[in-house]
Structure 1
C-alpha cells in the first residue's frame, strides 16, 4: 500500500457545467484513497451532489489540477486543491522542458516509456522543427564552445519532440534521468547510457534551471499573434488519424503504442501532439457515430476526461490505402474480439473495453485528412 493511502482524504475544487441550468457550478470533490471512494459537495447549496461511494476506475494520478475527471458521467474540471492536499500531493511539483533530439522514430516510443516510468507526467507534447534562434537560446549555457555550431546544426537539421514534464523537483530530476552529456560516462540506467551514441547524439536535452525551463516551454509551446511559435507538422494529405485515448496515456502505454506503429514496417508518424478535448469538441468529432453506436455518449465523455495524443499517420507505401491498412494494425473496436482474431493488434494489447479500447482510428478512407485537420488545425488553434 502506498504511504499516501493512509491519508483520510484529498480535497479538490472543481467546476462542472450544468446543462439544465446553463451555468458553471462550483463543487468540492473529496477523494478517499483508502477505499477509492469519492464524495461531491455543492458548497453553494450546502448539500451532497454525490454521497460517498466507491469508484474503482478513478486513480489518484488522474486528480491533477487542470485535469478533467469523469465521475459517473459527470465531467469535473479540477481548478485547485485544499492546502493540506497541496502539501501532500504537490510539494515542490514543477514543470521542466525536455527535447528529444533527432533520433530514429523507432526510438521515440522507448524514450517516452522511459520518461513515464521515471515518474514524470507528460502534460504537453508535440513534434516540430526548431529554428537556429530557438536552438541558440536552448544551448546558451555553452555559448562560445567549439561544439556550439555543431550542436545547433544537428538539432535544427530534422525533427525533434518537445515535452513538458511534471514531477517533484522536475528540473533536477530530469537532468539526473538524462545522465552525463557523454553516454560513455553516463550512469547505468540513465537515458543517455541506454540510447545515446556520443556527446552530440545523446538522445535528449534538459534545462539547468526552472527559469530556463519556463522560458523554453513558452518558446516551444507558446503562440505569437495566434500562430504557434513552433508549427505543427501535420501535412493533412494522404494520411489517417489515430487518437491515443486518455486511459492509454494514464496507464503508461503511450510509448508502447508509438513504438508499435513506428516499428510496424508499414507506417510512420508525421505529426504528434497532446490535446485536452472539451466535451463539445468530442461530440463534434464523433458526430458520425451519433445514433449509430450505442456507446456514442460514453465515447465522447472518455475523450474529454483526460489528455489524449493525436497522430497523423502516413503509409510507407503510397500504393496502399493508409486508412484501411492502419485499421488492421489497430484491430476491431472490441478488445476482446481483437485478442481472439488479431492478437498482435494495438487494441488487443492495450484495450480494455469498447470505450477504453486504447485508440481511435479513422473509419472511412475519405475521412482521414478531415480527422487529422480537426485536431491539428481546428483544436490546435482553439
Structure 2
C-alpha cells in the first residue's frame, strides 16, 4: 500500500534546456501530504522551482517513462530514488491476464472491474493466438480431457492480452478471477459476475510469476524483429480514437470502451496501449499547430501517461465512419458537449478542452493515416 503521509517521493528527471541546447538532469520532489512539488538542480545545488502546491499533478502521473508538466517545465521521469521505489512499488509484480473470446460489449465491464480491484494496466492489445501459444498457456491442464476444447475456443476468437501490475499481482489476479467454474466462484469475482461456464469463464490467470513473465514475453514480445502477436489494425475504412492519459488515471477506460462497443453503429477492430514521446505528439497533432491555441498543451497531455489507441469501424461500411464517430465523441469542449450532446463521450468523461477524454479524427481522409501513425509508425519506434 502507498503511504499517503510519506514525507516525499523523489524522482530523477531530464529536461531539455533550450538555452544550452542540451538535456539537464534534475530532481523532482513530490510531497503527497499537500500535493506540492519542488524541482532541484543537483549539479548547481539550487532550486529551479521552490516547493509549491500543484493541484493538477496527481501521484498516479509520477511513473517512470512519463512526462510531467510543472509550470511549463517538461520533465521526463527517468527513475526514482531507492526509498521512493520501496514505498511506491512495494511487493509490486507483473502478471499476464488474457480476456478470452467474449462479446466485445463485455470488454469495457471487464476492464472496469480490473481497475477497480487496484490493478494498473501497463500493456494491452487485442490479438489472435495460435495453438502453440495456447498449449503453453494451458500446460497446467495438459492432462484434462477438456484441453482440446479449450485450445479450440481460445484460438478461434479474438483475445485481449494485458500486463497487470499490483502488489503480489499473480495471486491477486487469480483471487479476483475466482474458480474455474463460474457457478462455484465466490460472489463478486470476475468469473461469477460474467462467466457462462467452465469453458467460457471470461479470462485466464497465470499460476506462477515465472509463467506470467514467460507469457508476457510471448504476447507482447518480438521474434526476429517482428511482434509475436501482431496488431489487429487493418488501416482501411476506419477512424482513429485515442483515449487520453487522464482517463486512465480517472479509471474511465472501461466505460468508454463499453460505450463504443455497445453502440449500434461502431466496433473496435484494434486496440493497443502506447507511451508517446513529446516529439511524436507534436508530429501527430501537427495539423493543429497555429490553428488551435491549445496545441502545445494537447501535445504535453498526450505524453503524461499511457494512452490507448483504437481503430474504430462502422458496422455499415457505406457510412462515413469519421463523421459518425465524431458525433459519438461530441464537440472538443466538454462543457459544450454537456449542453448539446449530454450522452457523448466527452460530455460524460471530459474535464476541459485539453483533458477532454478522447481524440478522434477530424477529417475524413485522415482516419486511416492516424490509425497508421500509432499502429504502424509508433509501433516500430
User: Normalising TM by the smaller chain, what interval?
Assistant: over 0.9
Which secondary structure state, in structure 1, belongs to the residue aligned with residue 183 of structure 2?
helix
Whole-Å separation in 2 of the counterparts to 1:76 and 1:8: 21
What's the offset of the Cα at 1:10? 1.2
* Alpha-carbon distance in 1 for matches of 2:199, 2:71: 50
Alpha-carbon distance between aligned partners in 2 of 1:142 and 1:18, rounded to the nearest angstrom: 56
**Deviation digits for residues 111-158 of structure 1, max 9, x if unmatched?**
000000000110000000011111111111111221111111100001
1:217-232 aligned at under 5 Å gives the runs 217-232=216-231
How far off is 1:254 after superposition? 0.4
* 3-state SS of 1:97 partner: strand
Structure 2 equivalent of residue 263 of structure 1: 262
Question: Residue 129 of structure 2 aligns with which residue?
Answer: 130
> Corresponding residue for 2:211?
212
Root-mean-square deviation (CA, aligned residues, Å) is: 1.2
Q: Which residue of 1 aligns with 2:198?
A: 199
Partner residue in 2 for 1:348:
347
* Number of the residue aligned with 2:189: 190
Instruction: State whether residues 75 and 305 of structure 1, in contact with CA within 8 Å, keep that contact through their aligned partners in structure 2.
Output: no
The residue correspondences of 1:240-319 to structure 2 (distance < 5 A) are 240-319=239-318
1:40 equivalent in alignment to 2:34:
no
How far does the alpha carbon of each residue in 1:320-376 deviate from its partner, in whole angstroms, 9 at most, with x for none?
100000000000000000000000000000001101000000000000000000000
* Contact 1:336–1:348 (CA under 8 A) maintained in structure 2: yes
Q: CA deviation at 1:302?
A: 0.5
Paired residue secondary structure (1:79) = strand
Partner residue, 2:148: 149
Q: Structure 2 length as normaliser, TM-score?
A: 0.98
Stretch of structure 1 that moved more, 210-219 or 13-22: 13-22
- Which stretch of the first structure deviates more once superposed, 65-74 or 103-112? 65-74
The question of whether the paired residues in 1 share the 8 Å contact of 2:241 and 2:310 is answered with: yes
Which moves more between the two structures, 228-237 or 138-147? Answer: 138-147
Deviation of residue 79 (structure 1)? Answer: 2.4
Moved more, 301-310 or 142-151: 142-151
Cα distance between partner residues in 1 of 2:231 and 2:154: 17
Superposition deviation, residue 225 in structure 1: 2.3
SS in 2 for 1:185: coil
CA contact (8 A) 2:15 2:26 kept: yes
Separation (CA, whole Å) in 2 of partners of 1:372 and 1:137? 32
SS in 1 for 2:241: strand
Give the deviation of 1:4 after TM superposition. Answer: 2.3
| Structure 1 residue 3, shift from structure 2 partner | 7.4
Q: Distance in 1 between matches of 2:215 and 2:14?
A: 30
Post-superposition shift, 1:81? Answer: 1.9
Residue pairs, 1:63-212, within 5 angstroms:
63-212=62-211
Please identify runs of 4+ aligned residues in structure 1 that moved more than 6 A.
none
Contact 2:178 2:191 in 1 (8 A): yes
State the 1:17 CA deviation: 2.8
Structure 1 unaligned blocks of 5 or more: none
Q: What secondary structure, in the 3-state scheme, does the structure 2 residue paired with 1:52 have?
A: strand
- Residues 355 and 309 (structure 1 numbering): CA distance in 2 closer, same or farther, change over 3 Å? same
Match of 1:6 in 2: 5
Structure 2: 5+ residue stretches without partners: none
CA distance in 2, matches of 1:117, 1:58: 21
Shift of 1:27: 1.5
**1:85 to partner: Cα distance:** 1.7
Contact 2:100 2:204 in 1 (8 A): yes
CA separation in 2, counterparts of 1:71 and 1:321? 41
Contact 1:226 1:381 in 2 (8 A): no
Q: Distance in 2 between matches of 1:115 and 1:77?
A: 28
Q: SS of 1:6's equivalent?
A: coil
Structure 1 residue 221: Cα displacement? 0.5
Bigger CA drift: 249-258 or 23-32? 23-32
Q: Is the 8 A contact 2:61 2:304 kept in 1?
A: no
Aligned residues: 381
Preserved CA contact (<8 Å) 2:125 2:160: yes
